[in-house]
């Protein structure tokens, strides 16, 4: 049961980031915390949203326990779990309808609750790569030349304009494997007819320098640079499981622009990827509204978990 004034973390019970923040809230801020996996909806958990001319209330009944959203201090939307339907709903069209109804209901309710949410599901959904790049430019951040399309002709023209110095990546993660950034080779151009099935992101290749992960919680900014050991990680450091992180100092003006970008996106927390080129210039790549940060904290000692926990317990529950 969520105690009044507690922090609610929406995540699976085995999520390491959720567990770390929960322990920090309880040990360092004396704030009770509950981790709840929303995949119990609709087969096991009951969700009730009431609206009247007096008040609004949203309650979850999970395994006999009540989670009253109107009484929690704040919510950390850590990870979205898929809704789990009972096997008695067997016909696929009916299953698809039920899942859409659950999503419409839950997303609408999360936009309506009074408790501060880090980050709002709607803000996370809106913070897609096209909008990120547009708002990054508005915030004064240098960005790579970018093309997003399902047009083979446009990709070929872009590749020619960049003299073959291009990378490509998908819009979303593949369900069964890491969708890493790759070089767009001349050989790849021979298969562009497949683009009609799904658009891709094509960008100019930014000169290799330092890859930087910036974790921002509210107005607290922590930057770290990654050291990789394998050539394949030159484009995407996630491919090197032995990568190590070191603290990095950002110019104050750049930190302010990154905070402004999160505000424009409606986010309170984000993991931002940058590249610092050999001449010292920084280029913005993307924001992950619910990215991983524990690996950076372990290597650098930066108080990332504490910073997020502090964001969730600010006076008055405001974030």
The pLDDT tens digits for 143-171 are: 999 999 999 999 999 999 999 999 888 88
pLDDT band with cut points at 50, 70 and 90 for residue 64: confident
pLDDT above 70 (res 264): yes
Residues 307, 304: Cα–Cα separation, whole Å: 5
Instruction: Check residue 238 and give its pLDDT.
Output: 73
Regarding whether 108 and 11 lie in a shared domain, the answer is: yes
Which of 96, 115, 134 corresponds to the end of one domain?
115
Q: What is the CB neighbour count within 10 angstroms for residue 266?
A: 14
Q: What is the pTM of this model?
A: 0.89
Is residue 66 within 8 A of residue 1, CB to CB? The reply is yes
Q: Looking at the domain assignment, is residue 128 inside a domain?
A: no
Q: What's the CA gap between 313 and 9, in Å, rounded? A: 13
Judge if 96 and 67 occupy the same domain.
yes
Residues 289 and 300 placed together within one structural domain of the fold: yes
Same-domain check for residues 97 and 50: yes
Pick the residue with more confidence: 70 or 311?
A: 311
Q: Check pLDDT > 70 for residue 80.
A: yes
- pLDDT at residue 70 above 90? no
Backbone angles phi, psi at 127, to 5 degrees: -80, 50
Q: What are the strands, taking DSSP E only, across 142-265?
A: 146-149, 166-169, 182-183, 200-204, 210-217, 220-227, 244-248
| Residue in 287, 297, 240 with CA at minimum distance from that of residue 21 | 297
Same domain, 99 and 170: no
Residue pLDDT, tens place only, 209-245 = 899 999 999 999 999 999 887 776 676 777 767 789 9
How high is the pLDDT of residue 2? Answer: 60
- List Cβ neighbours of 241 (8 Å cut-off, separation of 6 or more): none
Residue 120 lies in a domain: no
Find the CATH number of the domain harbouring 178: 3.30.1490.20
Query: For residue 28, is it within any domain?
Result: yes
Strand partners, 12: none
Last residue of a domain, one of 181, 204, 227: 204
- Residues 225 and 303 placed together within one structural domain of the fold: yes
Which of 316, 315, 304 minimizes the C-alpha distance to 20?
A: 304
- Number of folded domains that form the chain: 3
| pLDDT recorded at residue 174 | 61
Q: Pick the residue with more confidence: 125 or 319? A: 125
Please indicate, yes or no, if residue 35 is contained in any of the structural domains.
yes
State whether 85 and 165 are in the same domain: no
**Phi, psi for residue 155 in degrees, rounded to 5:** -65, -45
How crowded is the C-beta side of 170, counted as CA atoms within 13 Å? 10
Domain that holds residue 232: 207-317
- Contact in structure between 167 and 202 (CB atoms under 8 Å): yes
Is residue 133 a part of any domain in this protein? no
Q: Is the peptide bond before 42 cis (omega within 30 degrees of 0)?
A: yes
Buried/exposed code over 234-260 (b: 16+ C-beta within 10 A; e: otherwise): ebbbebbeebbbeebebeeebbebbbb
| CATH number, domain with residue 281 | 3.30.470.20
Answer yes or no: is pLDDT of 319 > 60. no
Whether residue 256 is predicted with pLDDT greater than 90 in this model: the reply is: yes
Residues 257 and 244 grouped into a single domain: yes
191 and 232 assigned to the same domain: no
Q: Please choose, from the candidates 201, 204, 317, 196, the residue with its C-alpha nearest in 3D space to the C-alpha of residue 268.
A: 317
Do 234 and 284 lie in one domain? The reply is: yes
Query: What's the pLDDT band for 175 if we cut at 50, 70, 90?
Result: low
Tokens of 190: 């021979």
Output the pLDDT for position 231.
Answer: 75
């Amino acid at each position: 049961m969520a105690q009044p004034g507690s922090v609610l973390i929406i995540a699976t019970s085995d999520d390491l980031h959720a567990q770390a923040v929960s322990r920090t809230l309880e040990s360092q801020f004396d704030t009770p915390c509950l981790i709840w996996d929303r995949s119990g909806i609709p087969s096991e958990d009951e969700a009730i949203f009431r609206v009247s001319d007096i008040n609004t209330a949203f309650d979850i009944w999970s395994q006999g326990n009540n989670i009253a959203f109107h009484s929690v201090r704040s919510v950390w939307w850590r990870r979205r779990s898929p809704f789990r339907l009972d096997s008695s709903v067997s016909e696929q069209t009916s299953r698809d309808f039920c899942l859409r109804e659950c999503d419409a209901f839950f997303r609408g309710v999360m936009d309506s609750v009074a408790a501060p949410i880090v980050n709002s599901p709607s803000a996370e959904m809106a913070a897609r790569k096209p909008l990120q790049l547009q708002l990054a430019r508005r915030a004064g951040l240098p960005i790579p030349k970018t093309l997003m399309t399902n047009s083979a002709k446009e990709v070929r023209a872009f590749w020619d304009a960049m003299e073959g110095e291009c990378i490509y990546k998908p819009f979303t993660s593949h369900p069964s494997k890491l969708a890493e950034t790759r070089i767009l080779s001349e050989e790849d151009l021979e298969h562009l007819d497949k683009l009609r099935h799904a658009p891709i992101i094509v960008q100019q290749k930014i000169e290799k320098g330092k890859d930087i992960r910036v974790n921002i919680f509210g107005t607290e900014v922590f930057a770290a640079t990654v050291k990789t050991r394998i050539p394949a990680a030159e484009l995407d450091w996630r491919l090197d499981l032995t990568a190590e992180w070191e603290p990095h100092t950002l110019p104050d003006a750049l930190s302010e622009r990154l905070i402004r970008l999160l505000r424009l996106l409606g986010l309170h927390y984000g993991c931002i990827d940058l590249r610092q080129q050999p001449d010292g210039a920084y280029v913005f790549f993307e924001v992950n509204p619910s990215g991983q940060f524990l690996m950076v904290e372990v290597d650098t000692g930066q108080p990332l978990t504490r910073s997020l926990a502090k964001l969730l317990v600010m006076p008055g529950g405001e974030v």
